[in-house]
A and B are shown apart, each in its own frame.
Chain A
Amino acid sequence: MRNENVVRAVILGALGLVIALLIVLVAQTNHLESRLIVQAQQIRTLGEATDRLAAGGVRVVGGGSNVPTDAAPPGVKFLHPDVPNFFKPKDVHWPPPGANLEGVLKGAWDTGDPKGFNPLLENSAYNYEFIENYVAYRLGDMNAWTNPSDWHGEIAYRCEVTDDFKEFTFYLRPGAKWAVPIGVNLDDPAHAWLKGDHPVTAEDYVFTLDMIMNPQVESGPNRNYYENLESWKALDATTLVLRWKKKEFNNVPESMVLAPLPRFIYTRDERGAEYPKETVGTNFNQHWYNSKGLLGSGPYSMTRYEPGSKLVLTRNEAFPGEKPAIKSIVYSIYTDSALTLLKLKAHEIEVGELRAGQYREEILQYKTSGKPPQGSPFFNGDILCDPVELSSYRYIGWNADRPYFSDKRVRRAMTMAFDRKRILENVWLGLGTLITGPFPPSTPYYDASIPLIPFDLAGAKKLLAEAGWSDSDGDGIVDKELHPGEGRKPFEFGLMVPIGAKEPTVLANILRDDLLKIGVKMNLETAEWSLFLKRTDEKSFDAYAGAWTTSWEPIELYQIWHSSQADVAKGSNRVGFRNKEADRIIDALQATFDPAERVKLAHEFHRILADEQPYSFFSTKKVVVCHWKEVDNVSYAKTFPNVDVRPWSVKRTEP
């Protein structure tokens, strides 16, 4: 018995000793690790300081670098020296004078982990707005803050447009380099091939076009835009010639916005071995770098991606163009956009968009009545919010191939019964501008003289009667003989709304009540998003609530409004709009380059749509963008991406 106790005590003592030693060990490792981390930080700061010294201490401040030139730099011979430079001077310059050049901006990425980063395969708006827009070094860019119809050069300092807008010759600025790849261990000898400087050349642009045009690459949507591209070649490392088959307005934006992909990475597997030439296209679809990041050469580089946590862009100090003031942009990745408000208040992020409901809760209700709660960051000047108009509009589409909506009087009656003003103010809390046509009201293409169709139930009822709809059996629903000999049918149709789309569902409920007052029965049909798309593709709907993203120049008209697209399977002319005059204008707009002439044509087109009412055009989309007070020089671009932080700065510097 005593013996047993002794043995037990010894075992317990030994165990205790082992645990104590373990704790000491863990504590020591932890201490060591924290010292290493501090050292690493010091080394990094030191490195940055030397970089800055080496760069001459002061960074290039806006101006000189993006001024278009007509004189050839030494060693370069222009192919068409007599042709004036197509580029205009850049409109907005950064960094703003006196701005803090060390600021860090913390933003929100509220849609969960990105699916991939390859811009030719991914169509996500977030990828475009938050990554590609900052890391891509495009040939040219829109003057997005003043007049987006004008283009200035980015990597190209000169663009010669010859042969009746069919040939575009770009001269590239030398000195741009591809960023350092991320997500791979560069110290591993297998990745040694990724190290070193890789210059950006005209060959990279040619390679990108090769991929877009390669039938094995799943980039169909992009290929559509380049269908009329006849040839693309690099004359040397800095000269790129694009030739289009015919003179079309779209040639200009499509030539300019081309963002290059690094050829040296996308033609090789992870160990650096070149793919067999004939399978480069298929391998591109599943390329190993697609999930790691987007390798750019623009003002920012993607320097870190931690799935489920954050994505970091850091200013590219080797960038030869204008460098923005903000040193790095850190996006927090999360999934519930309701968290944006909480994170903003907790100062975890500095820029974020509020949902309509949050906007009402936090701001709107106190603006009209009552005192805001004490210490509300939205009222004590900590957080500033601006409703920003996006390039996007909402509408209800009426399927003209269905007997109910084939008559334009009926469609107009629908618009009259659609209380757009009340719905915009109460459901969308005024976040938008009422519109009468498909162009953004901020562009000259929108004809502001076209009057808004008023909300008028009596007028709507009269129009329906003119179109032959009347209540013959006294059941409160108007009816009409749609096909001779088939008897009178009541006016009952379905409005399709995606499941979970909160505001459109409320819109549908209000519309249903108003329509019932004029004897039309509307049923709300909710469809899950992939089913919604399938039904619009198959045109098996009566009406649906939708939205389109628009661009500054009216370049999408053909797909959405041309008669020929009404019968194309899965075409975007879903409502079956067929109008000879509209077709003529669409074709004419494609061949017209004179700004005044284009505006005239667009206004004519706008008038036709306002008369035909294929859609009940509803409103543009505004979002409430909020930012903390230390974010400075905030301005918004006139076209997508409207929230572009390159001219911004942040006063506070991260420790």
Chain B
Amino acid sequence: MKAYVLRRLLLMIPTFFGISLILFLILNLAPGRPGAQQSADLSQSMRGEVTAESYKIFREQFHLDKPVLFNTRFTLSREEVRALVSAAAGIGQTTAAERVHAQEELEDLGASAVPHLVSLLDAPDPKLRDAVTYFLRIDATRPLITPFDPRPSPDVRARNRAINEENAELRTLRYRTEDDAATKRAVTDGWKRWFAAHRARFEHGARDKLAMFFFDTRFAAYWHNLVRLDFGVSLTSREPVTRTLVSKLKYSLTLSVGSLVLAYLIAVPIGVFSAVKKGSRADRALTLTLFMLYSLPSFFVATLLLYFFSQASAWESLRWFPIGGWQSSDASELTTLGQWRDIGWHLVLPTICMTYGSLAALSRYMRSGLLEVIQADYVRTARAKGLSERVVIGKHALRNGLLPILTLLAGLLPAVLGGSVIIEYIFGIQGMGLWVVDAINQRDYNVILAVELFSTVLVLVGLLLTDLSYALVDPRIRYE
């Protein structure tokens, strides 16, 4: 048994790696880009535009400028760079889409494009030359070393100061299109002098190239953080993802655990009743009711409940529950007990919405599980002993009949944390579900990945628990 558990646990590592790889690829290949502002009414103001420089820092910070899986940028040729620059500068026949792509590509290439850009400084086409100095300014600037280290060593500080100074100097190496030839020549000479002085930085040996090929990529950077359990910061709020995730659990867990417990408390007696009175009119009526409930969409029920039983109800005597949210706005003025009651009060309606739909399935499982048991020999024996029906069902049959729906629990683990988007949206509870949907809309890769990987772990653990619980409740099943 121990060996089995150990084997399963070890197997989780490659599975997890594989899943993370697939998730990472899907995410990074999806169209759209992070950093786009959400706008519900398609209103845009000029302040919403992101400029190249800011956008580059943003991409660098989150490694979005790197290739996804393998880095082959050291094989980049001068001609490829020339083609990109001319496309970005709109030389020849180019569409706007090609221009945008070429520009983004050049901005992402960073240092690997620099030697080629420098060699293009003498290109005959003046328009090309202008574009080359523009992209040099963007690609030659370097990011700081460990910028978030609160107490950097004097050495790092000195190097960062040097980087800042160099960047500032490089930013001055610019000219306007209308400047005269001498000014332009001075600027290009400046770039050449700078490159000659720092040439070593751009030359890589075979070992460097091999390391770059595998490790200078988005995936490697992400995994590098992941093994240290660092999910990074959200691309939109800049908050550490793990911290937000934990804070969101409070909402989603309360809601889903509450509704799960409630569902079991209601479904089990219903299932027992249906099994005992199998085929009776009451059983059929219950089944019909449950399936009708099952088919009612939760957003519809939620709206109805709000309409009839919330503070906004048209009938004053029915204004029982708050309109939504997690707490009253004056909750901080309440005692701890009062706050709990207040939260409970707010959660009544959402919990109802999340519960009623699962009653049908759960009670059916219970019913069929119990029916199977009731026909078993030992139940017949118990009856034959003359035990009352109550003792037969309640003591002998129920325990075994419960097994199937208890093993279901482990499988529900990921759903428990996933939260319900619709219920959270309608009742204004800022749980996991809403957070993830928002992250998807904003292409907040770090948040999406963190949540997905978190639920991957839960699924894997849940599967293991399910298997183990089978063995636990049924001695006939054994894992070697």
Q: Do residues A343 and B42 form an inter-chain contact, with CB atoms below 8 A?
A: no
- Which residues of chain B are within 8 angstroms of A341 by Cβ–Cβ distance? 312
- Of the candidate stretches B78-86, B109-117, B234-242, the one touching chain A is B234-242
Could you tell me if B338 and A30 are in contact, using CB atoms closer than 8 angstroms? yes
Task: Please give me the residue from chain B that is nearest to A269 by CB atom.
Answer: B150
Question: Residue A221 at the B interface, CB < 8 A?
Answer: yes
Contact B237 A115 (CB under 8 A): yes
Alpha-carbon gap, A145 to B272, bound state (A):
70
Inter-chain contact A534/B160, CB cutoff 8 Å = no
Interface residue B327 (Cβ < 8 Å from any Cβ of A): yes
- Chain B residues with Cβ below 8 Å from A222 are 47
* Cα(A278)–Cα(B156), bound, Å: 11
**Partner-binding segment picked from A302-310, A407-415, A466-474:** A302-310
Residues of A within 8 A of B90 (CB): 567
Selected contact of B157 from candidates A278, A306, A332, A348, CB within 8 Å: A278
Contact, CB under 8 Å: A309 / B325: yes
A581 part of interface (Cβ distance < 8 Å): no
Assess whether A529 is in contact with B38, with CB atoms less than 8 Å apart.
Answer: yes
Say yes or no: B237 contacts A282, CB within 8 Å: no
Assess whether A42 is interfacial by the CB under 8 Å rule.
no
A123 at the interface (CB under 8 A from B): yes
Q: Point out the residues of chain B lying under 8 angstroms from A15, CB to CB.
A: none
Q: How far is the CB of B90 from chain A (nearest CB, A)?
A: 5
Say yes or no: A346 contacts B236, CB within 8 Å: no
Contact call A531/B32, Cβ cutoff below 8 A: yes
Does A24 touch B at the CB level, under 8 Å?
no
Known: A530-B33, A539-B97, A569-B88. A221 touches B49 (CB 8 A): yes
A538-B329 in contact given A26-B337, A282-B148, A291-B239 (Cβ < 8 Å): no
**Interface residues of A toward B: which range?**
35 or more
Q: Majority SS of interface residues in chain A?
A: mixed
In the complex, the chain B residue whose C-beta lies closest to that of A344 is B312
Residue-wise interface mask of B (321-357) relative to A, using a CB-CB cutoff of 8 A (1 in contact, 0 not): 0011111010111111110000000000000000000
Evaluate contact between A215 and B430: CB separation under 8 angstroms.
no
Tell me if A539 and B43 are in contact (CB < 8 A): no
Q: Are B31 and A534 in touch, CB under 8 angstroms?
A: yes
Q: Return chain B residues, CB-CB under 8 Å to A401.
A: 96
Which residues does chain A contribute within 8 Å of B26, judged by CB atoms?
none
Total residues of chain B contacting the partner, CB 8 A: 86
Q: How far is the CA of A285 from the CA of B58 in the complex (A)?
A: 10
For the complex, give the distance between the alpha carbons of A492 and B157 in Å: 61
Find out whether the CB atom of B96 lies under 8 angstroms from the CB atom of A539.
Answer: yes
Q: Does B443 contact A (CB under 8 A)?
A: yes
Are the CB atoms of A37 and B333 closer together than 8 Å? yes
Min distance, Cβ B427 to any Cβ of chain A, angstroms: 8
Q: Are A37 and B100 within 8 A (Cβ)?
A: no
CB contacts (< 8 Å) of A521 on chain B: these are: none
B54 touching A282, Cβ below 8 Å: no
Given contacts A223-B53, A307-B430, A529-B441, contact A33 B335 (CB under 8 A): yes
Given contacts A279-B160, A307-B430, A401-B96, contact A346 B311 (CB under 8 A): yes
Chain A proximity mask over B180-192: 1 for CB below 8 Å, otherwise 0: 0000000000000
Contact yes or no, B430 A278, CB < 8 A: no
Say yes or no: A529 contacts B36, CB within 8 Å. yes
* Contact, CB under 8 Å: B160 / A278: yes
Q: Are A221 and B48 in contact (CB under 8 A)?
A: yes
Q: Which of B36, B95, B311 contacts A348 (CB 8 A)?
A: B311
Selected from B103, B161, B171, the residue in CB contact (under 8 A) with A569 is B103
Q: Quick check: is B44 within 8 A (CB to CB) of the other chain?
A: yes
Cβ-defined partner of A112 (8 Å) among B144, B337, B438, B443: B438
Q: Nearest chain-A residue to B234 (Cβ)? A: A115
Name the A residues within 8 Å of B55 (CB-CB).
Answer: 220
List B contacts of A539 (CB < 8 A): 95-97
Confirm or deny: A113 has a beta carbon within 8 angstroms of a beta carbon on chain B.
yes
Beta-carbon contact of B147 and A279 below 8 Å: yes
Report if B99 contacts A (CB, 8 A). Answer: yes
By the criterion CB–CB under 8 Å, are A530 and B44 in contact? no
Report if A330 contacts B (CB, 8 A).
yes
User: Given contacts A218-B54, A346-B323, A528-B32, are A113 and B430 in contact (CB under 8 A)?
Assistant: yes
Contacts of B301-323 to chain A: CB distance below 8 A: 306, 310-312, 319, 323
* Interface status of A69 (Cβ within 8 A of chain B): no
Known: A41-B333, A123-B37, A540-B96. A223 touches B54 (CB 8 A): yes
Query: A78-86, A190-198, A544-552: which lies at the B interface?
Result: A544-552
Interface hub of B36, B88, B319, B327 (most chain A Cβ within 10 A): B36
Within the complex, the shortest CB–CB distance from A423 to chain B, in Å, comes to 15
> Contact partner of A308 among B37, B239, B430, CB < 8 A?
B430
Q: List 23 A-B contacts (CB under 8 A).
A: A34-B338, A215-B171, A218-B58, A221-B46, A222-B47, A275-B150, A279-B160, A291-B237, A308-B326, A333-B325, A335-B428, A342-B312, A343-B323, A346-B310, A346-B319, A348-B329, A504-B42, A530-B442, A549-B44, A549-B45, A559-B49, A567-B90, A569-B100
Please name the 8 residue pairs, one residue from A and one from B, whose CB atoms are nearest each other, closest first.
A220-B54, A334-B428, A220-B51, A539-B96, A308-B430, A282-B147, A530-B32, A342-B312
**Additional A-B contact list (13), CB under 8 Å, known A218-B57, A224-B49:** A30-B338, A123-B47, A123-B48, A215-B171, A223-B54, A224-B51, A269-B150, A282-B144, A336-B428, A348-B323, A348-B329, A498-B42, A528-B32
Where the two chains meet, the residues of B that have a C-beta atom closer than 8 Å to any C-beta of A are 31-33, 36-55, 57-58, 61, 88, 90, 95-97, 99-101, 103, 141, 144, 147-148, 150-152, 157, 160-161, 163-164, 167, 171, 233, 236-239, 247, 251, 306, 310-312, 319, 323-327, 329, 331-338, 424-426, 428-430, 434, 438, 441-443
